[in-house]
Structure 1
Amino acid sequence: MKQVRKVTWLIKGYQLNDLGHVTHLNIAKCNLKGCWPAALFKLTHLQVLDIQENQLESIPEEIKELKSLACLDIRNNQIQELPQSISTLPVLQKLYLGNNLFTKVPELIQDCDTLNLIDFTDNLLSEGIENILNSTSIRNIYLRNNRLKYFPFHLIRPNGILELNVMENHIENSQENLSRVKNFLF
Protein backbone atom coordinates (compact mmCIF):
# COMPACT_ATOMS: atom_id res chain seq x y z
CA MET A 1 0.00 0.00 0.00
CA LYS A 2 2.89 2.35 0.80
CA GLN A 3 4.26 1.91 -2.75
CA VAL A 4 0.83 2.64 -4.26
CA ARG A 5 0.64 5.90 -2.30
CA LYS A 6 4.14 6.83 -3.42
CA VAL A 7 3.17 6.26 -7.08
CA THR A 8 0.00 8.35 -6.60
CA TRP A 9 2.13 11.16 -5.14
CA LEU A 10 4.51 11.05 -8.11
CA ILE A 11 1.92 10.75 -10.87
CA LYS A 12 -1.03 12.81 -9.66
CA GLY A 13 0.77 15.30 -7.43
CA TYR A 14 -1.26 14.55 -4.31
CA GLN A 15 -1.84 11.85 -1.76
CA LEU A 16 -4.95 11.20 0.32
CA ASN A 17 -5.26 9.58 3.73
CA ASP A 18 -7.83 6.88 4.52
CA LEU A 19 -10.48 9.54 5.17
CA GLY A 20 -9.94 11.23 1.81
CA HIS A 21 -8.03 14.25 3.15
CA VAL A 22 -5.09 15.59 1.14
CA THR A 23 -1.89 14.89 3.10
CA HIS A 24 0.74 15.44 0.38
CA LEU A 25 0.54 18.05 -2.36
CA ASN A 26 2.96 18.73 -5.18
CA ILE A 27 2.33 22.01 -7.00
CA ALA A 28 5.88 22.47 -8.24
CA LYS A 29 6.35 24.19 -11.60
CA CYS A 30 2.77 25.51 -11.70
CA ASN A 31 3.77 29.04 -12.70
CA LEU A 32 2.21 30.64 -9.60
CA LYS A 33 4.35 33.83 -9.83
CA GLY A 34 3.80 35.29 -6.40
CA CYS A 35 0.29 34.04 -5.74
CA TRP A 36 -0.43 31.21 -3.35
CA PRO A 37 -3.82 29.58 -4.00
CA ALA A 38 -6.17 30.57 -1.14
CA ALA A 39 -7.70 27.08 -1.11
CA LEU A 40 -4.30 25.71 -0.08
CA PHE A 41 -4.70 27.05 3.46
CA LYS A 42 -7.92 25.07 3.92
CA LEU A 43 -6.03 21.76 3.62
CA THR A 44 -5.76 21.24 7.38
CA HIS A 45 -4.47 17.66 7.05
CA LEU A 46 -1.63 18.63 4.70
CA GLN A 47 1.66 17.16 5.90
CA VAL A 48 3.94 17.66 2.89
CA LEU A 49 3.85 20.63 0.51
CA ASP A 50 6.15 20.81 -2.50
CA ILE A 51 5.77 24.24 -4.07
CA GLN A 52 9.17 24.62 -5.70
CA GLU A 53 9.99 26.36 -8.99
CA ASN A 54 7.09 28.82 -9.04
CA GLN A 55 8.74 32.27 -9.00
CA LEU A 56 7.23 32.96 -5.57
CA GLU A 57 8.56 36.03 -3.77
CA SER A 58 7.08 35.48 -0.32
CA ILE A 59 5.41 33.03 2.01
CA PRO A 60 2.08 34.35 3.28
CA GLU A 61 1.29 34.55 7.01
CA GLU A 62 -1.61 32.19 6.30
CA ILE A 63 0.89 29.34 6.28
CA LYS A 64 0.07 29.11 10.01
CA GLU A 65 -3.26 27.50 9.05
CA LEU A 66 -1.43 24.35 7.93
CA LYS A 67 -1.12 22.91 11.45
CA SER A 68 -0.25 19.39 10.20
CA LEU A 69 2.56 20.54 7.88
CA ALA A 70 5.73 18.56 8.58
CA CYS A 71 7.66 19.28 5.38
CA LEU A 72 7.73 22.45 3.26
CA ASP A 73 9.78 22.41 0.07
CA ILE A 74 9.99 25.87 -1.45
CA ARG A 75 13.28 25.56 -3.33
CA ASN A 76 13.95 27.41 -6.57
CA ASN A 77 11.81 30.48 -5.98
CA GLN A 78 12.65 34.12 -5.14
CA ILE A 79 12.02 34.11 -1.39
CA GLN A 80 14.10 36.52 0.74
CA GLU A 81 12.47 36.18 4.16
CA LEU A 82 10.17 33.99 6.21
CA PRO A 83 6.92 35.07 7.84
CA GLN A 84 6.85 35.01 11.65
CA SER A 85 4.00 32.50 11.48
CA ILE A 86 6.34 29.78 10.20
CA SER A 87 7.64 29.42 13.76
CA THR A 88 4.12 28.62 15.00
CA LEU A 89 3.74 25.47 12.89
CA PRO A 90 3.52 22.76 15.57
CA VAL A 91 4.98 19.80 13.64
CA LEU A 92 7.21 21.36 10.96
CA GLN A 93 10.30 19.14 10.73
CA LYS A 94 11.85 19.85 7.33
CA LEU A 95 12.23 23.21 5.62
CA TYR A 96 13.82 23.29 2.17
CA LEU A 97 14.71 26.86 1.14
CA GLY A 98 17.49 26.17 -1.37
CA ASN A 99 18.07 28.35 -4.40
CA ASN A 100 16.25 31.43 -3.19
CA LEU A 101 17.48 34.94 -2.31
CA PHE A 102 18.19 34.72 1.44
CA THR A 103 21.14 36.86 2.58
CA LYS A 104 20.70 36.23 6.31
CA VAL A 105 19.28 33.31 8.29
CA PRO A 106 16.12 34.70 9.94
CA GLU A 107 16.19 34.88 13.74
CA LEU A 108 12.84 33.09 13.95
CA ILE A 109 14.51 29.82 12.83
CA GLN A 110 15.70 29.26 16.39
CA ASP A 111 12.05 29.39 17.54
CA CYS A 112 10.91 26.54 15.26
CA ASP A 113 10.77 23.95 18.03
CA THR A 114 10.15 20.86 15.90
CA LEU A 115 12.39 21.71 12.94
CA ASN A 116 15.18 19.15 12.54
CA LEU A 117 16.33 19.83 8.96
CA ILE A 118 17.05 23.19 7.36
CA ASP A 119 18.30 23.58 3.79
CA PHE A 120 19.64 26.95 2.65
CA THR A 121 21.72 25.50 -0.21
CA ASP A 122 22.44 27.90 -3.11
CA ASN A 123 21.39 31.16 -1.47
CA LEU A 124 23.28 34.39 -0.74
CA LEU A 125 23.78 33.83 3.01
CA SER A 126 26.59 35.72 4.68
CA GLU A 127 25.28 35.98 8.26
CA GLY A 128 22.82 34.71 10.84
CA ILE A 129 24.16 31.15 11.12
CA GLU A 130 24.00 31.41 14.92
CA ASN A 131 20.20 31.43 14.56
CA ILE A 132 20.40 27.85 13.28
CA LEU A 133 22.94 26.72 15.86
CA ASN A 134 20.91 28.25 18.72
CA SER A 135 18.03 25.94 17.82
CA THR A 136 17.65 22.96 20.14
CA SER A 137 15.96 20.82 17.47
CA ILE A 138 17.84 21.35 14.17
CA ARG A 139 20.23 18.46 13.56
CA ASN A 140 20.71 18.54 9.77
CA ILE A 141 22.04 21.76 8.24
CA TYR A 142 22.67 22.35 4.54
CA LEU A 143 24.44 25.60 3.65
CA ARG A 144 26.32 24.59 0.52
CA ASN A 145 27.16 27.35 -1.97
CA ASN A 146 26.48 30.55 -0.06
CA ARG A 147 28.67 33.55 0.77
CA LEU A 148 29.82 32.46 4.21
CA LYS A 149 33.22 33.68 5.35
CA TYR A 150 32.69 33.04 9.04
CA PHE A 151 31.03 30.08 10.73
CA PRO A 152 30.41 30.03 14.51
CA PHE A 153 31.78 26.50 15.06
CA HIS A 154 32.05 27.26 18.80
CA LEU A 155 28.23 27.22 19.04
CA ILE A 156 27.94 23.58 17.95
CA ARG A 157 26.55 21.60 20.89
CA PRO A 158 27.95 18.15 21.70
CA ASN A 159 25.90 15.57 19.77
CA GLY A 160 23.71 18.39 18.50
CA ILE A 161 24.35 18.22 14.75
CA LEU A 162 24.08 15.02 12.72
CA GLU A 163 24.96 16.53 9.35
CA LEU A 164 26.51 19.86 8.38
CA ASN A 165 27.26 20.81 4.77
CA VAL A 166 29.13 24.09 4.25
CA MET A 167 30.83 23.14 0.97
CA GLU A 168 31.44 25.85 -1.65
CA ASN A 169 31.72 28.69 0.88
CA HIS A 170 34.83 30.68 1.71
CA ILE A 171 34.97 30.09 5.45
CA GLU A 172 38.17 31.59 6.83
CA ASN A 173 37.92 31.02 10.58
CA SER A 174 39.07 28.02 12.65
CA GLN A 175 37.04 24.82 12.46
CA GLU A 176 37.10 23.79 16.11
CA ASN A 177 34.34 21.58 17.56
CA LEU A 178 33.94 19.60 14.34
CA SER A 179 34.28 16.37 16.31
CA ARG A 180 30.79 17.18 17.59
CA VAL A 181 29.33 16.75 14.08
CA LYS A 182 28.70 13.18 12.86
CA ASN A 183 28.82 13.99 9.14
CA PHE A 184 30.66 17.17 8.13
CA LEU A 185 31.15 18.31 4.52
CA PHE A 186 33.50 21.24 4.06
Structure 2
Amino acid sequence: MMYEEQQQQVRTMMNSARNKMRSQVKVDSNRRRSGSTAGNGVEEDQRLEIVDLSGMSLDELPIPSLNLAAICKLDLSNNNLQNIPESLTARLLNLIVFDVRSNQLKTLPNSIGCLSKLKVLNVSGNLIQSLPRTIENCRSLEELNANFNKLSQLPDTIGFELQNLKKLSVNSNKLVFLPYSTSHLTNLRVLDARLNCLRSLPEDLENLINLEILNVSQNFQYLAELPYSIGLLISLVELDVSYNKITALPNSIGCLKKLQKLSVEGNPLVSPPAEIFEQGLNMVKEYLCDKINGTSKASHGNKKNSWFGKLAKCGTFNGVNLPAGDREGFIMPSYRSIDGMASPRYMGMFSPRRLFSPKTYFSR
Protein backbone atom coordinates (compact mmCIF):
# COMPACT_ATOMS: atom_id res chain seq x y z
CA MET A 1 0.00 0.00 0.00
CA MET A 2 1.32 3.42 -0.97
CA TYR A 3 2.23 5.95 1.73
CA GLU A 4 -0.55 8.34 0.66
CA GLU A 5 -3.13 5.56 0.96
CA GLN A 6 -1.89 4.66 4.44
CA GLN A 7 -2.16 8.27 5.55
CA GLN A 8 -5.65 8.52 4.14
CA GLN A 9 -6.68 5.36 6.00
CA VAL A 10 -5.35 6.78 9.27
CA ARG A 11 -7.19 10.07 8.71
CA THR A 12 -10.39 8.18 7.92
CA MET A 13 -10.06 6.12 11.09
CA MET A 14 -9.41 9.17 13.26
CA ASN A 15 -12.36 11.03 11.76
CA SER A 16 -14.53 7.99 12.34
CA ALA A 17 -13.40 7.88 15.97
CA ARG A 18 -14.21 11.55 16.48
CA ASN A 19 -17.62 11.13 14.87
CA LYS A 20 -18.35 8.16 17.08
CA MET A 21 -17.26 10.14 20.10
CA ARG A 22 -19.75 12.84 19.24
CA SER A 23 -22.56 10.43 18.42
CA GLN A 24 -22.06 8.28 21.51
CA VAL A 25 -21.99 11.13 23.99
CA LYS A 26 -24.93 10.98 26.36
CA VAL A 27 -25.80 13.83 28.63
CA ASP A 28 -26.29 13.24 32.33
CA SER A 29 -29.69 14.57 33.37
CA ASN A 30 -28.35 16.08 36.59
CA ARG A 31 -26.41 19.31 36.29
CA ARG A 32 -23.35 19.74 38.45
CA ARG A 33 -23.57 22.41 41.11
CA SER A 34 -20.83 24.97 41.03
CA GLY A 35 -19.93 24.25 44.64
CA SER A 36 -19.18 20.56 43.92
CA THR A 37 -17.22 21.23 40.76
CA ALA A 38 -15.03 24.12 41.86
CA GLY A 39 -11.43 23.58 40.91
CA ASN A 40 -11.98 20.52 38.70
CA GLY A 41 -12.54 22.28 35.39
CA VAL A 42 -16.28 21.59 35.07
CA GLU A 43 -18.42 24.69 34.81
CA GLU A 44 -21.79 25.07 36.46
CA ASP A 45 -23.74 24.74 33.18
CA GLN A 46 -21.72 21.80 31.93
CA ARG A 47 -22.99 18.22 32.13
CA LEU A 48 -21.13 14.96 32.52
CA GLU A 49 -20.82 12.85 29.39
CA ILE A 50 -20.31 9.24 28.32
CA VAL A 51 -17.75 8.58 25.60
CA ASP A 52 -17.74 5.22 23.76
CA LEU A 53 -14.76 4.45 21.51
CA SER A 54 -14.97 0.67 21.84
CA GLY A 55 -14.32 -1.83 19.02
CA MET A 56 -12.70 0.61 16.61
CA SER A 57 -9.29 -1.10 16.16
CA LEU A 58 -7.57 2.02 17.49
CA ASP A 59 -3.79 1.89 17.90
CA GLU A 60 -3.75 5.29 19.55
CA LEU A 61 -6.30 7.64 21.00
CA PRO A 62 -7.72 10.48 18.88
CA ILE A 63 -7.46 14.03 20.15
CA PRO A 64 -10.66 14.54 22.17
CA SER A 65 -13.06 17.22 21.01
CA LEU A 66 -14.46 17.91 24.47
CA ASN A 67 -13.34 18.81 27.94
CA LEU A 68 -11.90 15.65 29.53
CA ALA A 69 -13.10 16.76 32.94
CA ALA A 70 -16.66 16.48 31.66
CA ILE A 71 -16.44 12.71 31.03
CA CYS A 72 -17.95 10.37 33.63
CA LYS A 73 -17.61 7.13 31.62
CA LEU A 74 -14.92 6.31 29.07
CA ASP A 75 -15.09 3.05 27.11
CA LEU A 76 -11.92 2.20 25.18
CA SER A 77 -12.46 -1.57 25.15
CA ASN A 78 -11.75 -3.93 22.24
CA ASN A 79 -9.08 -1.87 20.53
CA ASN A 80 -5.34 -2.26 19.94
CA LEU A 81 -4.10 0.33 22.41
CA GLN A 82 -0.60 -0.27 23.78
CA ASN A 83 -0.54 2.65 26.17
CA ILE A 84 -2.71 5.36 27.67
CA PRO A 85 -1.11 8.82 27.88
CA GLU A 86 -0.38 10.05 31.39
CA SER A 87 -1.64 13.53 30.47
CA LEU A 88 -5.01 12.17 29.34
CA THR A 89 -5.70 10.18 32.49
CA ALA A 90 -4.66 13.04 34.74
CA ARG A 91 -7.42 15.25 33.30
CA LEU A 92 -10.29 12.76 33.70
CA LEU A 93 -11.14 14.29 37.07
CA ASN A 94 -14.81 13.28 37.10
CA LEU A 95 -14.40 9.79 35.64
CA ILE A 96 -16.53 7.14 37.37
CA VAL A 97 -16.26 4.18 34.94
CA PHE A 98 -13.08 3.40 33.00
CA ASP A 99 -13.17 0.41 30.63
CA VAL A 100 -9.98 -0.54 28.76
CA ARG A 101 -10.50 -4.29 28.54
CA SER A 102 -9.27 -6.29 25.56
CA ASN A 103 -6.39 -4.10 24.40
CA GLN A 104 -2.61 -4.59 24.28
CA LEU A 105 -1.74 -2.62 27.40
CA LYS A 106 1.40 -3.66 29.28
CA THR A 107 1.11 -0.97 31.95
CA LEU A 108 -1.37 1.53 33.33
CA PRO A 109 -0.41 5.20 33.68
CA ASN A 110 0.68 6.33 37.14
CA SER A 111 -1.70 9.25 36.79
CA ILE A 112 -4.58 6.82 37.32
CA GLY A 113 -4.16 7.79 40.95
CA CYS A 114 -5.70 11.17 40.07
CA LEU A 115 -9.09 9.49 39.47
CA SER A 116 -10.47 10.10 42.94
CA LYS A 117 -14.09 9.53 41.83
CA LEU A 118 -13.45 6.30 39.92
CA LYS A 119 -15.78 3.47 40.98
CA VAL A 120 -15.36 0.84 38.24
CA LEU A 121 -12.07 -0.07 36.56
CA ASN A 122 -11.92 -2.85 33.97
CA VAL A 123 -8.45 -3.69 32.62
CA SER A 124 -9.09 -7.36 31.85
CA GLY A 125 -7.71 -9.05 28.75
CA ASN A 126 -4.46 -7.10 28.49
CA LEU A 127 -0.75 -7.84 29.06
CA ILE A 128 -0.35 -6.01 32.37
CA GLN A 129 2.35 -7.43 34.66
CA SER A 130 1.76 -5.16 37.65
CA LEU A 131 -0.68 -2.49 38.78
CA PRO A 132 0.75 0.96 39.56
CA ARG A 133 1.02 1.66 43.26
CA THR A 134 -0.87 4.90 42.69
CA ILE A 135 -4.07 2.89 42.15
CA GLU A 136 -4.35 2.98 45.94
CA ASN A 137 -5.34 6.65 45.63
CA CYS A 138 -8.56 5.64 43.83
CA ARG A 139 -10.32 5.40 47.16
CA SER A 140 -13.83 5.49 45.67
CA LEU A 141 -13.14 2.31 43.69
CA GLU A 142 -15.82 -0.36 44.17
CA GLU A 143 -15.02 -2.84 41.40
CA LEU A 144 -11.63 -3.83 40.00
CA ASN A 145 -11.48 -6.34 37.16
CA ALA A 146 -7.96 -7.37 36.16
CA ASN A 147 -8.71 -10.86 34.82
CA PHE A 148 -6.64 -12.38 32.01
CA ASN A 149 -3.44 -10.43 32.41
CA LYS A 150 0.10 -11.35 33.49
CA LEU A 151 -0.04 -10.09 37.07
CA SER A 152 2.54 -11.73 39.33
CA GLN A 153 1.62 -9.64 42.38
CA LEU A 154 -0.72 -6.93 43.64
CA PRO A 155 0.39 -3.73 45.42
CA ASP A 156 1.31 -4.62 49.02
CA THR A 157 -0.97 -2.09 50.69
CA ILE A 158 -3.91 -2.26 48.28
CA GLY A 159 -6.24 -3.56 50.99
CA PHE A 160 -5.40 -0.78 53.43
CA GLU A 161 -6.36 1.95 50.98
CA LEU A 162 -9.24 0.66 48.81
CA GLN A 163 -11.72 0.40 51.65
CA ASN A 164 -14.77 0.81 49.37
CA LEU A 165 -13.86 -2.12 47.13
CA LYS A 166 -16.73 -4.62 46.80
CA LYS A 167 -15.52 -6.83 43.96
CA LEU A 168 -11.95 -7.90 43.22
CA SER A 169 -11.48 -10.13 40.16
CA VAL A 170 -7.92 -11.20 39.39
CA ASN A 171 -8.48 -14.63 37.85
CA SER A 172 -6.30 -16.05 35.09
CA ASN A 173 -3.05 -14.36 36.11
CA LYS A 174 0.25 -15.52 37.66
CA LEU A 175 -0.33 -14.51 41.28
CA VAL A 176 1.67 -16.52 43.80
CA PHE A 177 0.02 -14.95 46.84
CA LEU A 178 -2.51 -12.30 47.81
CA PRO A 179 -0.98 -9.49 49.89
CA TYR A 180 -1.67 -9.50 53.64
CA SER A 181 -3.59 -6.24 53.26
CA THR A 182 -6.26 -8.06 51.23
CA SER A 183 -7.73 -9.28 54.52
CA HIS A 184 -8.53 -5.66 55.43
CA LEU A 185 -11.02 -5.16 52.59
CA THR A 186 -13.96 -5.16 54.99
CA ASN A 187 -16.51 -4.16 52.32
CA LEU A 188 -15.44 -6.84 49.84
CA ARG A 189 -18.26 -9.11 48.69
CA VAL A 190 -16.66 -11.02 45.80
CA LEU A 191 -13.06 -12.28 45.59
CA ASP A 192 -12.21 -14.23 42.45
CA ALA A 193 -8.61 -15.47 42.34
CA ARG A 194 -9.01 -18.72 40.40
CA LEU A 195 -6.56 -19.85 37.73
CA ASN A 196 -3.43 -18.44 39.35
CA CYS A 197 -0.41 -19.96 41.11
CA LEU A 198 -1.55 -19.26 44.67
CA ARG A 199 0.39 -21.14 47.33
CA SER A 200 -1.55 -19.80 50.30
CA LEU A 201 -4.24 -17.36 51.40
CA PRO A 202 -3.91 -14.56 53.97
CA GLU A 203 -4.31 -15.79 57.55
CA ASP A 204 -6.65 -13.06 58.83
CA LEU A 205 -9.61 -13.73 56.55
CA GLU A 206 -12.02 -13.14 59.45
CA ASN A 207 -11.85 -9.40 58.73
CA LEU A 208 -13.70 -9.94 55.43
CA ILE A 209 -17.04 -9.75 57.20
CA ASN A 210 -19.06 -8.96 54.06
CA LEU A 211 -17.48 -11.52 51.72
CA GLU A 212 -20.17 -13.60 50.03
CA ILE A 213 -18.23 -15.35 47.25
CA LEU A 214 -14.71 -16.74 47.47
CA ASN A 215 -13.29 -18.53 44.43
CA VAL A 216 -9.71 -19.82 44.63
CA SER A 217 -10.23 -22.82 42.36
CA GLN A 218 -7.78 -24.14 39.77
CA ASN A 219 -4.54 -23.17 41.42
CA PHE A 220 -3.79 -26.84 40.82
CA GLN A 221 -0.58 -28.19 42.41
CA TYR A 222 0.14 -24.95 44.27
CA LEU A 223 -2.64 -24.44 46.83
CA ALA A 224 -2.42 -27.27 49.40
CA GLU A 225 -4.28 -25.90 52.43
CA LEU A 226 -6.77 -23.28 53.59
CA PRO A 227 -6.40 -21.10 56.69
CA TYR A 228 -8.59 -21.86 59.73
CA SER A 229 -9.88 -18.28 59.63
CA ILE A 230 -11.93 -19.17 56.58
CA GLY A 231 -14.55 -20.41 59.07
CA LEU A 232 -15.04 -16.85 60.35
CA LEU A 233 -16.28 -15.48 57.04
CA ILE A 234 -19.68 -14.83 58.55
CA SER A 235 -21.36 -13.74 55.27
CA LEU A 236 -19.90 -16.43 52.99
CA VAL A 237 -22.48 -18.03 50.69
CA GLU A 238 -20.32 -19.66 47.98
CA LEU A 239 -16.91 -21.26 48.35
CA ASP A 240 -15.06 -22.80 45.42
CA VAL A 241 -11.74 -24.51 46.17
CA SER A 242 -11.95 -27.10 43.38
CA TYR A 243 -8.93 -28.40 41.48
CA ASN A 244 -6.23 -27.66 43.98
CA LYS A 245 -4.00 -29.90 46.11
CA ILE A 246 -6.02 -29.72 49.32
CA THR A 247 -6.08 -32.91 51.41
CA ALA A 248 -8.20 -31.67 54.33
CA LEU A 249 -10.77 -28.93 54.80
CA PRO A 250 -10.39 -26.80 57.94
CA ASN A 251 -12.85 -27.86 60.63
CA SER A 252 -13.89 -24.23 60.87
CA ILE A 253 -15.86 -24.53 57.61
CA GLY A 254 -18.49 -26.32 59.67
CA CYS A 255 -19.29 -22.96 61.29
CA LEU A 256 -20.21 -21.20 58.05
CA LYS A 257 -23.92 -20.85 58.72
CA LYS A 258 -24.71 -18.98 55.49
CA LEU A 259 -22.74 -21.30 53.21
CA GLN A 260 -24.99 -22.70 50.49
CA LYS A 261 -22.58 -23.91 47.82
CA LEU A 262 -19.28 -25.68 48.29
CA SER A 263 -17.18 -26.99 45.42
CA VAL A 264 -14.24 -29.25 46.25
CA GLU A 265 -13.90 -31.61 43.28
CA GLY A 266 -10.46 -32.22 41.85
CA ASN A 267 -8.69 -32.28 45.25
CA PRO A 268 -7.00 -35.30 46.90
CA LEU A 269 -9.27 -34.87 49.96
CA VAL A 270 -8.97 -37.23 52.90
CA SER A 271 -10.96 -35.20 55.42
CA PRO A 272 -13.91 -35.19 55.32
CA PRO A 273 -13.98 -38.68 53.81
CA ALA A 274 -15.76 -39.39 50.53
CA GLU A 275 -18.77 -41.02 52.20
CA ILE A 276 -19.48 -37.77 54.06
CA PHE A 277 -19.36 -35.70 50.89
CA GLU A 278 -21.79 -38.10 49.26
CA GLN A 279 -24.39 -37.12 51.86
CA GLY A 280 -24.29 -33.43 50.93
CA LEU A 281 -23.25 -30.08 52.35
CA ASN A 282 -25.35 -30.42 55.50
CA MET A 283 -23.53 -33.59 56.52
CA VAL A 284 -20.12 -32.08 55.70
CA LYS A 285 -20.83 -29.17 58.04
CA GLU A 286 -22.07 -31.49 60.75
CA TYR A 287 -18.99 -33.69 60.42
CA LEU A 288 -16.61 -30.72 60.71
CA CYS A 289 -18.54 -29.27 63.66
CA ASP A 290 -18.30 -32.62 65.44
CA LYS A 291 -14.54 -32.51 65.01
CA ILE A 292 -14.43 -29.02 66.53
CA ASN A 293 -16.57 -30.07 69.48
CA GLY A 294 -14.55 -33.22 70.05
CA THR A 295 -17.44 -35.60 69.40
CA SER A 296 -15.74 -37.33 66.49
CA LYS A 297 -12.99 -39.93 66.78
CA ALA A 298 -11.06 -38.08 64.14
CA SER A 299 -10.92 -35.01 66.36
CA HIS A 300 -8.81 -36.46 69.18
CA GLY A 301 -5.59 -34.84 68.02
CA ASN A 302 -3.86 -31.53 68.11
CA LYS A 303 -6.83 -29.74 66.61
CA LYS A 304 -8.78 -30.29 69.83
CA ASN A 305 -6.37 -27.99 71.62
CA SER A 306 -6.37 -25.29 68.94
CA TRP A 307 -7.93 -21.87 69.47
CA PHE A 308 -10.89 -22.98 67.43
CA GLY A 309 -11.40 -25.91 69.75
CA LYS A 310 -11.28 -23.56 72.76
CA LEU A 311 -13.98 -21.38 71.26
CA ALA A 312 -16.13 -24.41 70.51
CA LYS A 313 -15.72 -25.69 74.05
CA CYS A 314 -16.95 -22.36 75.39
CA GLY A 315 -20.05 -22.64 73.24
CA THR A 316 -19.03 -19.95 70.75
CA PHE A 317 -19.59 -22.28 67.82
CA ASN A 318 -22.38 -24.81 68.04
CA GLY A 319 -22.50 -25.98 64.44
CA VAL A 320 -25.50 -25.93 62.15
CA ASN A 321 -28.16 -28.39 61.13
CA LEU A 322 -29.62 -27.25 57.87
CA PRO A 323 -32.83 -28.73 56.44
CA ALA A 324 -32.40 -31.64 54.12
CA GLY A 325 -33.63 -29.46 51.26
CA ASP A 326 -30.39 -27.45 51.38
CA ARG A 327 -28.22 -30.40 50.41
CA GLU A 328 -28.55 -29.87 46.68
CA GLY A 329 -26.38 -26.75 47.02
CA PHE A 330 -23.24 -28.76 47.73
CA ILE A 331 -21.52 -28.50 44.35
CA MET A 332 -21.09 -25.19 42.58
CA PRO A 333 -20.81 -25.98 38.84
CA SER A 334 -20.17 -22.43 37.71
CA TYR A 335 -19.19 -19.05 39.08
CA ARG A 336 -21.78 -16.31 39.44
CA SER A 337 -21.90 -13.10 41.42
CA ILE A 338 -24.36 -12.16 44.14
CA ASP A 339 -25.69 -8.63 44.07
CA GLY A 340 -27.32 -8.55 47.53
CA MET A 341 -25.70 -6.23 50.05
CA ALA A 342 -24.61 -7.42 53.46
CA SER A 343 -25.02 -4.92 56.25
CA PRO A 344 -21.64 -3.42 57.20
CA ARG A 345 -20.29 -4.40 60.57
CA TYR A 346 -16.84 -4.98 61.93
CA MET A 347 -15.99 -8.08 63.92
CA GLY A 348 -12.21 -7.86 63.74
CA MET A 349 -11.87 -6.99 67.42
CA PHE A 350 -13.41 -10.33 68.35
CA SER A 351 -11.18 -12.52 66.22
CA PRO A 352 -9.60 -15.55 67.95
CA ARG A 353 -6.17 -14.14 67.29
CA ARG A 354 -7.00 -11.09 69.39
CA LEU A 355 -8.76 -13.11 72.06
CA PHE A 356 -5.97 -15.61 72.60
CA SER A 357 -2.82 -13.78 71.54
CA PRO A 358 -3.38 -10.05 72.17
CA LYS A 359 0.25 -9.27 72.76
CA THR A 360 1.29 -10.88 69.48
CA TYR A 361 -1.52 -9.28 67.51
CA PHE A 362 -1.17 -5.68 68.68
CA SER A 363 2.61 -5.68 68.51
CA ARG A 364 2.51 -5.76 64.72
| Fold conserved between structures, TM > 0.5 | yes
Structure having the higher strand fraction is 1
1:118 aligns with 2:144: yes
The verdict on how the C-alpha distance between 1:119 and 1:174 changes in structure 2, with shifts beyond 3 A counting, is closer
Q: Which AA in structure 2 matches 1:64?
A: A
Name the SS for the 2:89 alignment partner: helix
Residue of structure 2 equivalent to 1:102: 128
**Equivalence for 1:173:** 200
The answer as to 2:51 corresponding to 1:51 is: no
Q: 2:213 aligns with which of 170, 183, 186?
A: 183
Between the aligned residues of both structures, percent identity stands at 23
| 1:106 shift after superposition | 1.9
Runs of 5+ unmatched residues, structure 1: 1-11
Decide which of 30, 54, 68 is 2:56's aligned counterpart: 30
Q: Which residue of 1 aligns with 2:172?
A: 145
2:188 — aligned with what? 161
Which has more helix, going by share of residues?
2
Change in CA separation of 1:29 and 1:159 when aligned onto 2, cut-off 3 Å: same
Quick one: which amino acid aligns to residue 152 of structure 1? P
Separation in 2, partners of 1:23, 1:126: 35
Q: CA deviation at 1:137?
A: 3.2
Question: What is the distance in 1 between the residues matched to 2:68 and 2:156?
Answer: 34
Check 1:71–1:40 CA distance in 2 against 1; reply closer, same or farther (3 A cut).
farther
Alignment partner of 1:14 is 2:25: yes
The TM-score with structure 2 as length reference comes to 0.44
User: For the aligned residues, what is the CA RMSD?
Assistant: 2.3
Give the letter aligned to residue 166 of structure 2: R
Displacement of 1:51 in angstroms is 0.6
- Give a deviation string over 1:40-86, Cα, whole Å, max 9, x none: 66243211111111110111122222222100000001112222221
Alpha carbons of structure 1 residues 155 and 51: separation in structure 2 relative to 1, 3 Å = closer
Aligned to 2:67: 42
- 2:66 and 2:89 map into 1 onto residues whose CA distance is 7
2:94 corresponds to which letter in structure 1?
Answer: S
CA distance change for structure 1 residues 129 and 77 in 2, over 3 Å: closer, same or farther? same
Residue of structure 2 equivalent to 1:82:
108
Q: For residues 130-141 of structure 1, what are the structure 2 equivalents within 5 Å? A: 130-135=156-161, 136-141=163-168
2:109 and 2:146 mapped to 1: Cα distance?
Answer: 16
- Report how many residues are paired: 174
Q: 1:145 to 1:17 in 2, by over 3 A?
A: same
Secondary structure of the residue aligned to 2:140 is coil
CA distance in 2, matches of 1:21, 1:155: 37
Deviation at 1:134, TM superposition (A): 3.0
Equivalent residue, structure 1, for 2:119? 93
Q: Identify which range, 149-158 or 160-169, moves more after superposition.
A: 149-158
TM-score by length of 1: 0.81
